[in-house]
Chain A
Amino acid sequence: GAVVSQHPSRVICKSGTSVKIECRSLDFQATTMFWYRQFPKKSLMLMATSNEGSKATYEQGVEKDKFLINHASLTLSTLTVTSAHPEDSSFYICSAILAHRSQETQYFGPGTRLLVL
Chain B
Amino acid sequence: GQQLNQSPQSMFIQEGEDVSMNCTSSSIFNTWLWYKQEPGEGPVLLIALYKAGELTSNGRLTAQFGITRKDSFLNISASIPSDVGIYFCAGQIQGSYKLIFGSGTRLLVRP
Contact = CB atoms under 8 A, between A and B. Distances in A.
Interface of A: 1, 4, 6, 32, 34, 42-44, 46, 49, 91, 93, 95, 97, 103-111, 113
Contacts of B35: 108
Contact of B97 (A49, A107, A108, A113): A49
Interface of B: 31, 33, 35, 40-45, 48, 50, 88, 90, 92, 97-99, 101-104
A110 B97 contact: no
A109 B42 CA distance: 6
A110 B41 CA distance: 5
A44 B42 CA distance: 10
Given A44-B88, A49-B97, A108 B31 contact: no
Contacts of A91: 40
